[in-house]
Amino acid sequence: MAGITIGNTISLTSISRNTLKVHFRNLVERGHLTQLGSGRGVWYELGSIQKA
């Protein structure tokens, strides 16, 4: 499964980086997204809630 980055999402939506970081963090905490990698190499995939 392909993931998405904050940078990809900025390009697609023109939403600010800080706003997206807040939303992505919330989605990770709720289990809707899974964060992979670290630092500037972070990408996100659908979380376990979505895969069930």
pLDDT tens digits along 1-19 = 579 999 999 999 999 999 9
> How would residue 51 be classed by pLDDT, with cut points 50, 70 and 90?
low
Which H/E stretch holds residue 8?
A: helix 6-13
How far is Cα 43 from Cα 34, in angstroms, rounded to an integer?
Answer: 8
Determine phi and psi for 36, rounding to 5 degrees: -125, 150
How far is Cα 36 from Cα 4, in angstroms, rounded to an integer?
Answer: 10
- pTM for the full predicted model: 0.83
